[in-house]
Amino acid sequence: MSYVPNTARDQRLMLEAIGAPDLDSLFEDIPADVRDPTLDLPPALSEMDVVAHLQDLASRNQDLTRQISFLGAGWYDHYVPAFVDQMLLRSEYYTAYTPYQPEVSQGTLQTIYEFQSFICDLTGLDVANASMYDGGSALAEATALALNATRRTQVLVADTVDPNHRRIAATYLEPLDVSLEVVRNWNLAGDGALGEDMAPFAAAIDDDTACVVLQRPNFFGWLEDVEAVVKAAHAAGALVIVVADPVTLGVLQPPGEIGADIAVGELRHLAGPPSFGGPGAGYFATTRQHVRRIPGRIVGRTTDGQGRPGYVLTLQTREQHIRRERASSNICTNEALIALAATIHLAGLGRNGLRHLAELSIRHAHAAIEAQWPKGYAVATDRPLVREFPVHCPAPALEINARLRQQEIIGGFDLGGEWPELSDYLLCAFTEKTGPAAIAALHEALPAAAR
Amino acid sequence: MYPDELSYTREHEWIRVDGEECTIGITAYAQDELGDVVYVELPAVGAAVTRNDPFGAVESVKAVSDLFAPLTGEVTALNDELDAAPELVNKDPYGAGWMVKIRLNDTDELAALMDAAAYEGLVNELRS
Amino acid sequence: MTTQPPIYELSSPGRVGVDLPALPEDGRELADLLPATELRDDLPLPEVSQIDVVRHYVRLSQKNFSIDTDMYPLGSCTMKYNPKVNELTGRLPGLAAVHPLQADEQVQGCLELLSGLEEMIGEIAGFPAVSLQPAAGAQGEFVGMMLIRAQQLRREDVRMKVLIPASAHGTNPATASMCGYESVSIPNGPDGEVDIEAVRAAMGPDVAAVMMTVPNTLGLFESRIQEVCDLAHAAGALVYCDGANMNAMLGRVRPGNLGIDVMHLNLHKTFSTPHGGGGPGAGALCASAELDPYLPVPRVVEGPDGGFARSSDFPHSIGRIQGHMGNFGNLVRAYTYIRSLGAEGLREIADIAVLNANYLRVKLQDVYDLPHDRICMHEVVFSGRRQKAHGVRTLDIAKRLIDFGFHPPTVYFPLIVEEALMIEPTETESRETLDRFIAAMRTIAAEVETDPQRSLDAPLSTPVGRLDEATAARKPDLRYVPPA
């Protein structure tokens, strides 16, 4: 069904009003040799049949509701309470567009203002935008801001930043006359333990450095000692960008307090199920100093003619529709609905709930760290871990994962896919869903998975 | 509207010449066309500016206009008050709404500026 | 409607809105697990019960206008009905509760859907190569221009300029800059189409691409688009098409057949995925076979065992632009839509979208200036200059429409039309709804002559009146700060 209300009779009456003989006559500007192609598409399905077809496709996935999963690697499987999705189903939110007309968009605008406030609270920074496509593009835009603000040409990224974030930033920066260097800030000891090595930053930071990018917790799950790097970067006039998981910010030091000039990260796991990786939403926060360089939409609070408070899109001269070829970004989207879901969830969690949620993940992870691991398996670092950690395995992680899948367990992220020397390492993530029972099931399955 | 003691450019800037130091702002016509000025972006003190090159920008709610240097020289002072009160550009374009002071490199460049009558002629042309 | 205070002002110590599993009680504090120096002192989020959270966001939603409220004729945005079945399929746990890093063998349903959608979109738009990676139209544009750049660089053919019609979306020049190009603006001719002689004059060995919008932002089909493509190709340049306006062309013309090399589509416009209050969108990117090697990774490929797999093994790819496989949730909805409509349904969309726009054109052109008096495509652009003579600007007309229950059209765009009013009814609106809209527009036009103050004071029916945007930008208040 095409959902078109106008019947043949309506069409005839309208064509008469237009003075056109038929619908074809409305398309005569299209060159005749290419007009009216035959489209070879599958036949239309009724609503009942299209649902059955999508259910059939869905049944060909092994979704997380039927398995125990320790997959994270930047994309976490949190339980999102029912009221969040119920609110998202309100037509007034999901069938509205960008709040260009503030008088009829106060709902969306106020939720964005609250979102910005939450992100400032979480990150300890002064200003946040209305969100970006995802954590990776937020990082790319953050590096672009740093390059612009410092008029320098070099971006230094820790190797322990989410590899996909690094790749996205590299794609965005490629056409510009700048360099993006990955700094190897970890090492592998003879006993198989992963260690930290922040020293290479000291050598890499110089007068060309626009920014250094760090992640907390890092991709391997631990909290790096970043104090010296932050100091060195600031002393050299470079900005510090921190990628941070918003859930663990419920308990961890906010990036602003450890010297970040910009904080970015992925919000998807506060908004809903993993959705095969998209849509996500990236948050972007910075200091007051950079407010007029922030990419994307920003909402501000003001008043109307009668003094009533209200909200508007503001500082719009930064954006592409006004600055055109001189805009530093072409973004004209915020991931409004995902950011809204995160906002509603955060509002429900509040001061105590977000701490609680973060603490559940952390306590589950630490229960696993302290547990006796089956023979041949070991937690592979002594760094301060938060909710995710590498496990050294007695066989390639790829093979172990394949065997675990037979028992409806997703073991974790195979680090060998990113670092060939870590092909025997699984990165296991913990949430409120992976409590003692899940850990016991994993430990029970691991011995057999090694052979 | 266009004080006689000032000089003007086709880019709608005014210049008050005081020996080698010039004060620069935008004209009453320019601020009226822009509407409510919300932000003025200026170079740093000590920056070198080149005649006809952009050296800053004036922003209204939904537009941004470049500021073109009317003369070549070095920036010696900025109007810091515009940071907190950009509306001064609208309220008092020739007074409290001034933007930068420049020390001239070459006084010969002054000859290229318009006087008030010539500038008013330009504005009348644009308005019609 | 009363003012709804910021959620922070609903806070009361000790309240919480969620029901989380209990924390394990082992007598240890968090500081026993993590270094105390790494822990934050306070988290200043509000403390609100679930009912208060729900009421707060329900009340805020009631301050929004939406497609499901009434006609939303925002030009260039294609505010069509968002079928409810799409929300059902997009939420099926078998599709939504899938982690992007699961093994290929566990996600065959997702990959089949992606592959099927690529194929259908390629067929609709007439291109052999499709990427579903872009998160939005603007990211699709960025990818498209990056493909052109990658191909030319590989041939060591360095070109610095991109030709862009004056009527283009603001994203086009911004995208060109992001890719390191200099934009050259090409005027539109008196008929509203791009000035072909200006294209010819600007074309040369330093031109990398022409960025066209078809139909253009005046709502007109660029009838000489094939000539533009020929000129570009003869000079070694490629043609990018902004496909935001694909709704007008479904089943009537495949842009790939016009000679266009690369084009993005906005799935949230043409293929009914919800706009979500400003996102997430999704932008399919369509390209010629020559540009296929440069598409972003990862891509869906045939698997070793006959199924589907993901691969990043494309050495000439521009790289990754998204964490995973694009905005999958939106792609499920677009897939559902295309499967619901089929070829005939899609063509009906274009037919009725164009019929509706032309109906508005003829019914309003005696009261609003029509700069280009000819058949339009999916949208019609009027000028409010006649009303401006009475002291009523296009913005005022837009605000007055709100009092009649309609969302305003796009205003002041395209820039080349003075006081532009850009109206896109889409196929969603019935004849009766269009007649109501026409009546409202005519009432306003009459009122402007007799009682212009009504438009200047509008809107009067909304929770707030016109807001002070100048103060908002001068003294930005961008986050909640508790009263001292």
> What's the gap in Å between the CA of A230 and the closest CA on chain B?
26
Q: Kindly report the CA angle at C442 between C440 and C443, in degrees rounded to 5?
A: 65
Q: What pLDDT is stored for residue B27 in this prediction?
A: 95
Interchain contact, C470 vs B39, CB within 8 Å: no
Six token digits for residue A343: 């906002």
Tell me which fold the domain C85-339 belongs to. Answer: Aspartate Aminotransferase; domain 2 (3.40.640)
Sequence ranges of chain A with CATH classification 3.40.640.10: 83-346
Best C7, C87, C172, C453 member to test A by mutation, with max A CBs in 10 Å, is C7
C contact set with B (CB within 8 A):
469-470, 473-474
Position C79: which residue type? M
> What's the gap in Å between the CA of A235 and the closest CA on chain C?
23
Q: Which residues 6+ apart lie within 8 Å of A48 measured at CB?
A: none
Best B34, B36, B40 member to test C by mutation, with max C CBs in 10 Å, is B36
Q: Is there a domain that residue B47 lies in?
A: yes
What part of C 246-285 touches A (C-beta under 8 Å)? 249, 251-254, 257-258, 274-282
Sequence ranges of chain A with CATH classification 3.90.1150.10: 64-80+351-449
User: What ranges make up the beta strands (E) of A368-419?
Assistant: 378-379, 388-392, 409-410, 413-414
Please tell me which chains touch A, using 3 or more CB pairs under 8 Å as the contact test.
B, C
Helix (H) or strand (E) holding A127: strand A127-128
CB-nearest to A322 from B39, B41, B63 is B63
Residue-wise pLDDT tens for chain B (128 aa)?
899 999 999 999 999 999 889 999 999 999 998 999 999 999 999 999 999 999 899 998 888 889 999 999 999 999 999 999 999 999 999 999 999 999 998 888 888 899 999 999 999 998 87
3-state secondary structure of A69: strand
Interchain contact, B64 vs A322, CB within 8 Å: yes
CATH number for the domain harbouring residue B54: 2.40.50.100
Q: Which residues 6+ apart lie within 8 Å of B117 measured at CB?
A: none
Total number of domains in chain B: 1
Tell me the domain boundaries of chain C: 7-61, 85-339, 344-469
Report whether pLDDT(A130) > 90: yes
CB-nearest to A315 from C16, C44, C473 is C473
Query: pLDDT grade, residue A190 (50/70/90)?
Result: very high
Report whether pLDDT(A356) > 90: yes
State the residue range of the domain holding B53.
7-114
Q: What share of chain C is helix, strand, coil (3-state, %, to 5)?
A: 40, 15, 45
Q: Is there a domain that residue B82 lies in?
A: yes
Q: What pLDDT is stored for residue A230 in this prediction?
A: 98
- The stretch A383-397 carries a mean pLDDT of 98
The CA distance from B66 to B57, in Å, is 4
Question: Which DSSP category does C14 fall into?
Answer: T
Helix axes A106-123, C50-61, angle to 10 degrees: 140
| Sole residue written with tokens 């790819």 | C317
Q: What pLDDT is stored for residue A327 in this prediction?
A: 78
Interchain contact, C109 vs A170, CB within 8 Å: no
What's the mean pLDDT when you consider all of chain B?
92
3-state secondary structure of B21: strand
Closest residue, chain B, to A322 (C-alpha): B63
In angstroms, the Cα distances linking C339 to A233, C130, C344 are 53, 18, 11
Q: What pLDDT is stored for residue A326 in this prediction?
A: 78
In angstroms, the Cα distances linking A364 to C21, C105, C185, C297, C361 are 12, 29, 59, 34, 64
Interchain contact, B62 vs A316, CB within 8 Å: yes
The predicted-structure confidence for A421-431, as pLDDT tens digits, reads as follows: 999 999 999 99
| Beta-bridge partners for C184 | C163
Q: What pLDDT is stored for residue A440 in this prediction?
A: 96
> Quick one: CA torsion of A269, A275, A281, A282, rounded to 10 degrees?
70
The CA distance from A352 to A348, in Å, is 10
Six token digits for residue A74: 């930047």
Q: Are A371 and A110 in contact (CB under 8 A)?
A: no
Interchain contact, A278 vs C339, CB within 8 Å: no
What's the mean pLDDT when you consider all of chain A?
96
Helix axes A397-406, A436-449, angle to 10 degrees: 110
Interchain contact, C474 vs B38, CB within 8 Å: yes
The CA distance from C351 to C249, in Å, is 8
Six token digits for residue A145: 């801001």
The reply to whether domains C85-339 and C344-469 share a CATH topology is no
Q: Is there a domain that residue B105 lies in?
A: yes
Burial label for C473, CB within 10 Å (0-12, 13-18, 19+), is: buried
Interchain contact, A323 vs B39, CB within 8 Å: no
Q: Is there a domain that residue B122 lies in?
A: no
Question: Which residues of chain C are modeled with pLDDT < 70?
Answer: 1
Position A252: which residue type? L
- Which architecture, in CATH terms, is C344-469? Alpha-Beta Complex (3.90)
Please check whether residue A322 touches B, CB under 8 A.
Answer: yes
Is ipTM over 0.95?
yes
Best A291, A298, A316, A317 member to test B by mutation, with max B CBs in 10 Å, is A317
Query: pLDDT grade, residue A371 (50/70/90)?
Result: very high
Interchain contact, B61 vs A316, CB within 8 Å: yes
How does strand C207-213 pair with strand C238-243?
Answer: parallel
Q: What pLDDT is stored for residue C1 in this prediction?
A: 60
Q: What is the DSSP annotation of C142-181? A: HHHHHHHHHHHHHTT----EEEEETTS-THHHHHHHHTTP
- The stretch A359-371 carries a mean pLDDT of 96
Q: B47: which chain A residues are within 8 Å (Cβ-Cβ)?
A: none
Interchain contact, B64 vs A323, CB within 8 Å: yes
Helices (H), A73-226: 82-88, 91-94, 106-123, 135-150, 163-173, 199-204
Q: Which residues 6+ apart lie within 8 Å of C133 measured at CB?
A: C143, C285, C295, C296, C321, C322, C325, C326
The predicted-structure confidence for C110-123, as pLDDT tens digits, reads as follows: 999 999 999 999 99
Helix (H) or strand (E) holding A240: strand A239-244
The CA distance from B26 to B8, in Å, is 9
Q: Are C98 and C111 in contact (CB under 8 A)?
A: no
Q: Which residues 6+ apart lie within 8 Å of A416 measured at CB?
A: A396, A397, A398, A422, A423, A424, A425
Q: Is there a domain that residue B126 lies in?
A: no
Tell me which fold the domain A64-80+351-449 belongs to. Answer: Aspartate Aminotransferase, domain 1 (3.90.1150)
In angstroms, the Cα distances linking A435 to A360, A367, A368, A380, A406 are 8, 9, 9, 20, 21
Interchain contact, A276 vs C40, CB within 8 Å: no
> What's the gap in Å between the CA of B61 and the closest CA on chain C?
6
Q: What dotted CATH number matches A83-346? A: 3.40.640.10
The CA distance from B27 to B36, in Å, is 14
Report whether pLDDT(A232) > 70: yes
